[in-house]
């Protein structure tokens, strides 16, 4: 269990002393987490933010960090304030899980399962047939599939991940699942790496990462017959925000619906260690990845039934960061056991970002529920920013907040409600 580090009495004394005395010695400043010249950690003024977002984020950093009045990093009885970030398209432009899967398919890194229908519990007979026909049965079970040369096999695997459909357009998943705790095509990626060790997946990720960071912005690549983004970039603004939060005494976490070995490899690039990176955690057998994953809040992970997805992200934040055990981890906690700052880009992130007490930063990717809540800004803590690289144009129609913006556990849709139960009216897209 990952509990936020507590600031020791000596560290608090140093922080308080520097806060009161103003600029002091470089050693004291560094001990307190300040810049070497003694000033409070500040976001770069050379990086462009939308509207007043940089100023609002800086206000939260100043209030809760080592320069705050208490000098205790938020005054939570010695607990450091916590910030949590989604990863794909929040800290990076483009999806690092997809970049890794594409590399794996291009380099024959997916091992043949004994039976495709055993990989994912919701896989349809149509998807099973498509995969079996495209990938064949000549390769021994547990050996690499020739996806670098067999485009049909690579196509079916990637289509199921990206579209939840086969190449012929048939549904790849069917059955019942809690639509606020999982989505089958997200669980599909860790399951594809069954038979590998986490270390092997990290090595694959490092190779994919090196290529994606070197590729020009806007470039594409082929996997099978699919054309997909060829590049990934760390957003400089988010990298700077994470760095500044750390210097100001925040504990910074990543919480992703991707695969944990992949997320860990990328998160290291912004200084977030594996111990503070939360994503889908596969159950291991003899050190090797299986098609099962760990659960949360007293619920079995099963074969993807519970992952860090919408309510699942809230559960993992509560359980892994704040030590909330059992079913209570699914519920919003009191302010003292919640993150101070949360950042995301999609409906996947809406619950944990909504739990942030001081700042809720959303990168606009035109996702209904999170944008409804962000633009409604019922309590004045939401900040909306266009994507920092290749932002989307303005959405032509308002977000359907009053009708279909919310996805229920059974998959049906309804209106998005505020905490007091009132309906959020439809919202115009204004930050693009």
In a domain, 424, yes or no: no
Of all residues in the chain, the percent with pLDDT exceeding 90 is: 88
Whether residue 5 has pLDDT greater than 60: no
- For the cut 80, the answer to whether the pLDDT of residue 37 exceeds it is no
On whether residue 189 sits in a domain, the answer given is yes
Can you give the residue range of the structural domain that contains 336?
9-93+235-414
Please check whether residues 55 and 108 belong to one and the same domain: no
User: Per the domain annotation, does 425 fall within a domain?
Assistant: no
Task: Please enumerate in sequence order all residues whose Cβ is within 8 A of that of 332, keeping only pairs 6 or more positions apart, or say none.
Answer: 314, 338, 355
Say if 330 falls within a structural domain: yes
Pair (185, 265) in one structural domain: no
- Examine the domain organization and report whether 333 and 266 are in the same domain: yes
Look at residues 189, 207, 229 and tell me which one is the last residue of a structural domain. 229
Give the tens place of pLDDT for each residue, 131-170.
Answer: 999 999 999 999 999 999 999 999 999 999 999 999 999 9
How sure is the predictor about 38, in pLDDT bands with cuts at 50, 70 and 90?
low
Q: Which one of 213, 229, 245 terminates a domain?
A: 229
What is the CATH number for 31?
Answer: 3.40.50.1000
350 and 265 within one domain? yes
Kindly state the average pLDDT of the residues 376-402: 97
- Tell me what the pLDDT averaged over the chain comes to: 91
Q: How far apart are CA 424 and CA 403, in angstroms?
A: 9
Same structural domain, 406 and 346: yes
Q: Residue 266 pLDDT > 50, yes or no?
A: yes
Average pLDDT over residues 242-253: 97
Among residues 210, 229, 248, the one where a domain terminates is 229
Q: pLDDT higher for 227 or 24?
A: 227
Residue 417: Cβ within 10 Å count:
15
Out of 5-14, 191-200, 364-373, least confident range: 5-14
- Establish if 344 belongs to a structural domain: yes
Helix (H) or strand (E) holding 354: helix 350-354
Angle between helices 260-267 and 96-106 (to 10 degrees): 110
Q: Give yes or no: residues 250 and 398 share one domain.
A: yes
Does residue 431 sit within a domain?
no
Does the structure show a pLDDT above 70 at 16?
A: no
- Across 16-30, 53-67, 226-240, least confident range: 16-30
pLDDT value for 70: 55
Q: Are residues 169 and 35 in the same domain?
A: no
- Residues whose CB falls within 8 Å of the CB of residue 340, separated by 6 or more in sequence, listed in order: 60, 64, 74, 81, 82, 83, 250, 356, 357, 358, 359
* pLDDT value for 79: 79
Residue 388 within a domain: yes
On whether both 201 and 272 belong to a single domain, the answer is: no
Q: Same domain for 37 and 107?
A: no
Claim to verify: residue 408 and residue 304 sit in the same structural domain: yes
Q: Mark whether 269 and 392 lie in a shared domain.
A: yes
Query: What is the pTM assigned to this prediction?
Result: 0.90
Total number of domains constituting the chain:
2
Model confidence at 126: pLDDT above 70 = yes
Indicate if 331 and 358 belong to the same structural domain.
yes
Is residue 118 domain-resident? yes
Question: Is residue 3 pLDDT above 80, yes or no?
Answer: no
pLDDT, residue 7, reads 31
| pLDDT tens per residue, range 289-324 | 999 999 999 999 999 999 999 999 999 999 999 999
Closest to 190 (Cα-Cα) out of 206, 174, 204, 209: 204
Is 28 a residue whose pLDDT tops 80? no
pLDDT tens digits for range 314-353: 999 999 999 999 999 999 999 999 999 999 999 999 999 9
Which of 67, 53, 56 has its CA nearest to residue 17? 67
Helices (H), 175-253: 184-192, 198-214, 236-247
Find the range with the poorest average confidence among 18-32, 181-195, 406-420.
Answer: 18-32
3-class secondary structure, 401: coil
Q: Which structure tokens are listed for 125?
A: 């007979």
């Amino acid at each position: 269990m990952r509990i936020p580090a507590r600031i020791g009495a000596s560290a608090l004394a140093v922080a308080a002393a520097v806060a009161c005395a103003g600029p002091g010695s470089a050693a004291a400043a560094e001990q307190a987490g300040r810049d070497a010249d003694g000033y409070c950690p500040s976001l770069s003024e050379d990086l462009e933010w939308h509207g007043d977002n940089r100023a609002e984020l800086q206000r939260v950093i100043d209030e809760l960090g080592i320069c705050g009045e208490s000098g205790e990093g938020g005054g939570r009885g010695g607990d450091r304030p916590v910030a949590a970030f989604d990863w794909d398209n929040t800290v990076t432009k483009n999806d690092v899980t997809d970049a890794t899967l594409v590399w794996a398919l291009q380099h024959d890194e997916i091992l043949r399962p004994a039976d495709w229908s055993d990989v994912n519990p919701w896989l349809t007979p149509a998807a099973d047939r498509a995969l079996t026909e495209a990938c064949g049965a000549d390769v021994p079970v547990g050996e690499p599939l020739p996806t670098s040369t067999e485009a049909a096999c690579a196509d079916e695997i990637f289509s199921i991940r990206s579209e939840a459909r086969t190449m012929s357009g048939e549904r790849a998943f069917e059955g019942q699942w809690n639509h606020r705790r999982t989505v089958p095509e997200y669980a599909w990626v860790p399951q594809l790496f069954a038979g590998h060790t986490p270390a092997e997946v990290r090595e694959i990720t490092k190779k994919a990462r090196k290529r994606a960071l070197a590729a020009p912005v806007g470039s594409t690549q082929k996997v099978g017959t699919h054309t997909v983004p060829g590049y990934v970039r760390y957003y400089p603004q988010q990298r700077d925000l994470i760095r500044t939060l750390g210097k100001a005494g925040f504990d910074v976490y990543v919480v992703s619906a991707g695969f944990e070995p992949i997320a860990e490899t990328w998160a290291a690039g912004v200084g977030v260690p594996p111990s503070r990176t939360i994503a889908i955690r596969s159950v291991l057998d003899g050190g090797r990845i299986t098609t099962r994953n760990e659960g949360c809040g007293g619920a079995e992970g099963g074969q993807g039934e519970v992952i860090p997805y919408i309510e699942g992200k809230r559960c993992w934040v509560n359980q892994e960061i704040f030590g909330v055990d059992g079913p209570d981890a699914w519920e919003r906690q009191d302010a003292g056991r919640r993150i101070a700052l949360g950042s995301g880009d999609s409906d996947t992130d809406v619950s944990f970002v909504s739990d942030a007490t001081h700042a809720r930063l959303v990168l606009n990717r035109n996702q209904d529920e999170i944008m409804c809540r962000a633009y409604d800004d019922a309590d004045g803590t939401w900040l909306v920013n266009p994507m920092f690289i290749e932002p989307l144009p303005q959405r032509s129609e308002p977000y359907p907040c009053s009708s279909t913006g919310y996805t229920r556990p059974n998959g049906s849709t309804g209106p998005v409600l505020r905490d007091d139960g009132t309906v959020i009216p439809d919202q115009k897209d204004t930050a693009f």
